[in-house]
Amino acid sequence: MLVNNPPSYFATTGRSAIVIPNGDLGVLSDLNDIYHPQFLILEFNHPKALDDLYQNPYSFGKYEYIRTYPDQDALDTQEHKGTHIFRIIP
């Protein structure tokens, strides 16, 4: 699982996670070869290089866009688009 805040994810779910690196799509792809995560959870607080993916989620490479969950604490706006879930194909 790739997430923005692994300690919070662990505290909430009891499962470990890997931090989303501060880089672009190429860095994400490189990370797959090392850690083999199964999902990417992309939230409002994401690396700047992934802003296009956050603003307009789409499938790419081994990443399959699944769906977006609206945020409960804020209305979706131009900047705040909810939480996007991607499955990472092995």
Enumerate the domain spans of the chain. Answer: 2-88
Which pLDDT value is given to residue 70? 85
Query: 79: pLDDT confidence band, cut at 50, 70 and 90?
Result: low
- Report how far residue 76's alpha carbon sits from residue 31's, in angstroms, rounded to the nearest whole number: 29
How many angstroms from the chain centroid is the CA of residue 28?
10
0.75 exceeded by pTM = yes
pLDDT in tens, 27-71: 998 999 899 999 999 999 999 999 999 999 999 999 999 999 987
pLDDT at residue 49, rounded to an integer? 96
User: Within the chain, how many helices (H) and strands (E) appear?
Assistant: 3, 5
- What is the rounded distance in angstroms from the CA atom of residue 2 to the CA atom of residue 39? 6
To the nearest 10°, the Cα dihedral for 22, 52, 35, 62? Answer: -160
Q: Which helix (H) or strand (E) holds 26?
A: helix 25-35
